[in-house]
Structure 1
Amino acid sequence: MHPLPAILIDGLRATLFRHPRVSATTVGAGMFVAVVVVYLFASILLEMAGTSPPWMLLPGGVLTVLGDSMLTLIAAWLLAVLAARREAVWGIATVLLAATVAAAVVVHWPLGELASYLVLHEHAGLAILVELVARCWWFFVLLVFAHWLAPRGLGHALGSAVLAYAVSAAAWWWLPQSPLVRTMPVVQATAEPTSGDQDGDAKTATEQDEADDDDAPGAKSEFDAEAAMYAQPALLDAALARLKPQTPGKVDLYVVAFAGDAQQDVFRNEAEYVETLFAQRFGAAGRTVVLENNAATVTTRPLASWTNLQRTLATIARTMDPAEDVLLLYFTTHGSDDHQLLVDLDPLPLNQIGPDDIADALKTTPAMRWKVIVVNACYSGGFVDALRDDSTMVMTSARADRTSFGCGADSDITYFGKAFLAEALNRTTSLREAFDLARTSVDAWETADQKDAKPDAKGVAGVEPIQHSEPQIATSASIEAKLAAWRRTLHESAAVPFAPAGEAMSRGASPSPDASTRSGKG
């Protein structure tokens, strides 16, 4: 049998607590490198299985695989030293890395799917038990392997396994990790504006860049693009480090606001108002993260990008109690009729975000069960089907085939943002009731806009009748019951007036402080 298949079979045997058959002293560094390549391809295939096509490969994920391989090599060296078998280091490392691949496929992937299923069906206790089994599996692999290397008694094997586990698994959980695969955003190259698009919201990203007024507030400031790019990891790390931990026995709300387009301050205003409103009125102080694209805040706020969104959600999932707490995710930006959210901060090359991208970012470990997702953009109704489930409430500012209004350069806040955030949520703490109030207000404002339209020189109305945006909601009894339980934890508080971001700062609001792929091991 060819050595590589034999090594992979030995990795599977080790995963199932069986002794390897290949002599460790006959395996060299070349075979270890070959198994690293197998590990990389297996990781890519596993991530593709959980990600919607078309796919794109992220180089950072390759570094994650290489980092885990190096930790495995260090753990193997420890086992070899403790077993007085230094000549077998490469063989031990190769079999352990093959076991990492096997465990990822036959143990951790199915157990991860089972844990997610249990969380979604209100079996949090069983989900935690499954997660514990997954985490302990690699320890028992190491324990059996250490005893095979040096059968000197259970105590010696146990000590060796603990050290190897601390290096190859416990250290691994604390290292920053990047995905290998994500969905490639597909942005429509050209599109004809619809008659209902009064503010340019139906344009694609390219057309929007060309059409935006150079005198718009968000377009005046200049910034060092390279410095902004390199500052991002520290800015995001600082924002995530400030997140408060979950309160045991209490439903906590964690909020992420995402302002995608830098060309108009209306989106920055809205995202920062989300932070202020939910911190002061809804008990989310210290549990809110704002991701925004605006030239004025590139040195103080993490950017609104898919990568930052994915990292933020992954950190919140580990900070909150995913079976008890609630995530509120609020998007505000332009949208296109092929259901892509505009993510833009010229000249940085940021990817656009579609429904599947958000769904992928929400596939965290552990899985967050209770979610409220608000998408405020034209054609945002196209996000409902990809994001809805029994424990998620999805609200959008428009139907899948309609534009929304109030996001031009002259606006301080969008129609939907004003109706839902500034007005309705200052009257009620019920998100469902606030949506119903907002939908009524938006419809009335759009009707009034049509009545106020001035006739042209021929005495005929200069615009076609407005196609009302018709905000959409997808909800369930389960999520509304959870939100009712969360509302019971709130204390009565005063309304929070809306003010544009610059004015809020001048009135004394606190700015954001300056920032100074699981493996087979669980």
Structure 2
Amino acid sequence: MSESNNVHAANEPGKAEGGLEPQLPATSPENISAEEKPEWGRLINETLRTSFLKHPRWEGIPASPVIMLILVTGYILATLCLQRLAIAGPADFHFRAIGANWFAFASWAWLCFSLRRDPVKPDGSNGSTAPSASHLFVLSMAQGLFLFLILNLPFGLSMYLGWITYGSFSQVISWLIYLVPLLLTIAIQSVFLWRACDRRAWSMVLIFFVTVSSIAMQITTRPPHFWYPKRVESSEADSSDRTPDISQEVFEAQAALFQEKMSGLQPQRTGIIDLYSLNFAPYGDENVFLNETSMVTQVMEKRFDAAGRSLQLVNNPGTMNSLPWATPLNLQRAIQHVAKRMDVNEDILFLHMSSHGASDGELSAGMWPLTVNTVTPEDLKRWLGEAGIKHRVISISACYAGNWIAPLSDADTLVMTASDADHTSYGCGSKSDLTFFGRAMYDEQLRNKTLSFETALASARPIIKQREEEAGKTDGYSNPQIAMGANIRDRLKLLELRLPSAQPLP
């Protein structure tokens, strides 16, 4: 207790020694002018300071049920807005999400009370500058809301403006984008709470326990979001910016559809080099990949005599009832079935894969709410080897697709990619009909001008470069690649020789 308080206690209430009025602490509410009364400005100032690891100053911090309600509402509105920014195109609002995440608020309030059970006053009028539980809760909530916005808003705006998509990153990078802001927030708030509490070991254990349990609850329970891509309606069956209802009936219909398509593949013809076409589009949130694989399928059927020997695997809400899903298991089974229909030592398998690509070469996959694993070059090479398919033409239309060349190249394989391992490709946005690579390579060259994959790619490269420059591509030329094995080159020449009558498509 301070000297002034001792003197005050020794005399009658309200009087100091010598009959003088006791001096109130400099920070007492009675000693603060009207302009200096606790206001939102004080809370905002301390929020900014503590967010940059400054020691908290509790004098004048406001705390009331109204302020707490405003901060919780702010969290909910910020979450609502950021979730909306993450969805390009129309979206459905789900009000029931308002009932989610209350465990985090409740546990945080309990934590603040546990760390500050003593009813001390943060204004210093009782000689203490430690916060009460309510002041600790208010300032920590304000700090958390500020960190949530500044660490997540740039990514949300980039998603909304179309600068990046979830498919732009590998799963590892996607997790980092989620975890780094979260871990940074935890670190800053832990420092703040440690400074505000009594700094005993059990306090730090309590902070850790509440924080980890709140995060684990959110991850394991997968609470509902406020926004989801707009659901597909019966009159909008060809739109990929809608979220389909994936029910048990859909799963059963898909299984039957896959078997139907497999059964429809025609067997090989003895003494004839047949080309079997398999097109794979695993990313279902944009129509461009469906469009491209449909176009490539048509070119292979009409120009390379693959009619009756072609198959599309596609994730797209508009093709739920017409095409099998593009999942790794379906692709593996399709390769195995094609191997049984073809002469693996004579015929050629053409495989075109179209999706977003990440810097490590990983192709994006999925169609909300369906979770789809990705296919790696190692997976594909193993499946082709297990099926015994010798002659292969593999085409990868994606950013950073050059990462697929080394794992798949050999004397019996031709690998073509829309980009090298260090650059993005172009034209894979939601407003594109075809990618630059798909349009130049297949729709323009192989459709009308040549049956040679090598010639088609050599002609397409300068066209793609020019179009990228005209479109303002900023990260450099995509630089499409080709790796041609000696044996597959000879096999493709034999195929071309038997297709002299093939006419350009209209």
* Band the TM-score falls in, shorter-chain normalisation: 0.5 to 0.7
Aligned 8 A contact 1:446 1:466 in 2:
no
Aligned 8 A contact 1:202 1:403 in 2:
no
1:202 matched residue in structure 2? 168
1:282-293 correspondence to structure 2 within 5 Å: 282-293=304-315
2:386 matched residue in structure 1? 364
**Aligned residue type for 1:284:** A
User: Which deviations, in whole Å up to 9, do the C-alpha atoms of 1:147-175 show, x marking residues without a partner?
Assistant: xxxxxxxxxxxxxxxxxxxxxxxxxxxxx
- Match status 1:492 vs 2:501: yes
1:96-495 correspondence to structure 2 within 5 Å: 200=165, 202-204=168-170, 214=229, 217-220=239-242, 222-365=244-387, 367-425=388-446, 426-450=448-472, 465-495=474-504
**Aligned residue type for 1:202:** S
- CA distance 1:436–1:346, shift in 2 (3 Å): same
Greater RCO (CA < 8 Å, at least 6 residues apart): 1
Count of residues paired in the alignment: 290
Structure 2: any 5+ residue segments left out of the alignment? Answer: 1-154, 179-224, 231-237
2:212 matched residue in structure 1? none
Measured in 2, the distance between the counterparts of 1:447 and 1:234 equals 46
**Aligned residue type for 1:375:** I
**Aligned residue type for 1:405:** Y
Aligned 8 A contact 1:199 1:405 in 2:
no
After TM superposition, give the deviation of residue 326 of structure 1 in Å.
0.4
Measured in 2, the distance between the counterparts of 1:220 and 1:199 equals 19
Comparing 223-232 and 244-253, the one that deviates more:
223-232
After TM superposition, give the deviation of residue 494 of structure 1 in Å.
3.4
Measured in 1, the distance between the counterparts of 2:406 and 2:279 equals 21
Measured in 2, the distance between the counterparts of 1:430 and 1:292 equals 26
Measured in 1, the distance between the counterparts of 2:409 and 2:249 equals 38
Measured in 1, the distance between the counterparts of 2:362 and 2:375 equals 6
After TM superposition, give the deviation of residue 441 of structure 1 in Å.
1.2
- CA distance 1:287–1:375, shift in 2 (3 Å): same
**Aligned residue type for 1:303:** W
After TM superposition, give the deviation of residue 232 of structure 1 in Å.
2.6
SS at match of 1:291: strand
Measured in 2, the distance between the counterparts of 1:397 and 1:239 equals 28
After TM superposition, give the deviation of residue 287 of structure 1 in Å.
0.3
- CA distance 1:213–1:427, shift in 2 (3 Å): farther
Aligned 8 A contact 1:343 1:350 in 2:
yes
After TM superposition, give the deviation of residue 199 of structure 1 in Å.
5.8
After TM superposition, give the deviation of residue 231 of structure 1 in Å.
2.3
User: Which deviations, in whole Å up to 9, do the C-alpha atoms of 1:53-76 show, x marking residues without a partner?
Assistant: xxxxxxxxxxxxxxxxxxxxxxxx
Aligned 8 A contact 2:240 2:318 in 1:
yes
SS at match of 1:257: strand
User: Which deviations, in whole Å up to 9, do the C-alpha atoms of 1:116-145 show, x marking residues without a partner?
Assistant: xxxxxxxxxxxxxxxxxxxxxxxxxxxxxx
Measured in 2, the distance between the counterparts of 1:203 and 1:229 equals 28
Kindly report structure 1 stretches of 4+ aligned residues shifted beyond 3 Å. Answer: 197-201, 204-210, 212-217
Aligned 8 A contact 1:203 1:335 in 2:
yes
Measured in 2, the distance between the counterparts of 1:312 and 1:484 equals 26
Measured in 2, the distance between the counterparts of 1:225 and 1:363 equals 35
CA RMSD, 1 decimal: 2.8
After TM superposition, give the deviation of residue 436 of structure 1 in Å.
1.0
Aligned 8 A contact 2:228 2:243 in 1:
no
**Aligned residue type for 2:422:** D
Aligned 8 A contact 1:258 1:290 in 2:
yes
Aligned 8 A contact 1:254 1:284 in 2:
yes
SS at match of 1:218: coil
After TM superposition, give the deviation of residue 495 of structure 1 in Å.
2.8
Measured in 2, the distance between the counterparts of 1:334 and 1:260 equals 9
Aligned 8 A contact 2:246 2:370 in 1:
no
**Aligned residue type for 2:494:** A
